[in-house]
Structure 1
Amino acid sequence: EAARARLLGALARAPGSVRETCRMLLEALVPAHPRQDAALLVARTHALGPGRVACWDLPSDPAVVSTARSLVTRQLSAWALDEAAFATELIASELVTNAIRYARAPVRLRLIRDHVLTCEVSDGSSTSPRLRHARTTDEGGRGLLLVAQCSERWGTRYTEDGKTIWAEQTVT
């Protein structure tokens, strides 16, 4: 906790350039003669305008999956990305279903339109998702496999209060 406080304090005084921020953080946080190697990654990010992000809090009810598909279709139509609707509906449907079935509230669906289209579903559980290869006789177990097939890449990001599973698609 003390290291985090030192980091936050140093970042509050960070200069404008990434290079200067790296130099300042290294001087502030790494001892002059460290016993171990240290690595630091600093990146400049940009905020997306509100018209590029759509977010919905969803109840933990299996009936909401069809609502999630409708929300995705409506938003993609508003963004003139109708060609991505089928795959994105499938991705959102599978991720929301998994969050409702295996995780706990709160469940949040978010679409982000940038250089790629990102579909995120967050939930209140830190349980890792597992990509399974279901047998032909299995009734379930194909959700993340479908997400992987419909997206360019996907992954999990853990937060203090759960996790977010995301999937990216290339859009034209």
Structure 2
Amino acid sequence: MTEGPSRDTASALVVAEKPGAKIFPGIEEHLEKLAGFFLAQTRYLVEGHAMLQSQQEGQSNAQSAALMADQGSTETCIKQLMDQQLAIAGQFQEELMATQSAIYEQLMAMQAQAGEQIKKSVTEKLFDALREMQSNRVNLLETQLAAKMNDIFQILTSRIQQLVEEQTA
């Protein structure tokens, strides 16, 4: 900067070379220092901005890579969960079919047992009804036989009495 004004400070010097600038002695040097200070600060800010942007890009790339890795891991986990769900669903279906089959077999056995019980009950009731009918018929026959025997006995008694009267007369 000792060789003369730099290209960056040229615009500040143009202002300083105007006739009003001669009123203040040393203003050119002061303006040059001020312009140099602002340029240094601007460069510092530009470098800081570039560094922050680079850091943000690096962080963004790292986050993107982490998200991609997480996505792959998540997809693997989802596939494993789906495989587990399919296995559980298959096992559940097999158990459901086995339970349904066992219930059907029990129902058939119960129906057969109920059928046998009904058959036995009907047979017993028919046998009891037949026995009662036979008992009633035996009672009726006994009553009829007793009545006929009584009638025959009376006829016989009356005939014997008639014969006795004929013989005694």
Same fold by TM-score, threshold 0.5 exceeded?
Answer: no
Pick the structure with greater CA Rg.
Answer: 2
TM range (shorter): under 0.3
TM-score by length of 2: 0.13
**More helix by proportion, 1 or 2?**
2
The structure whose RCO (Cα within 8 Å, separation 6+) is larger is 1
Q: Which has the higher strand share?
A: 1
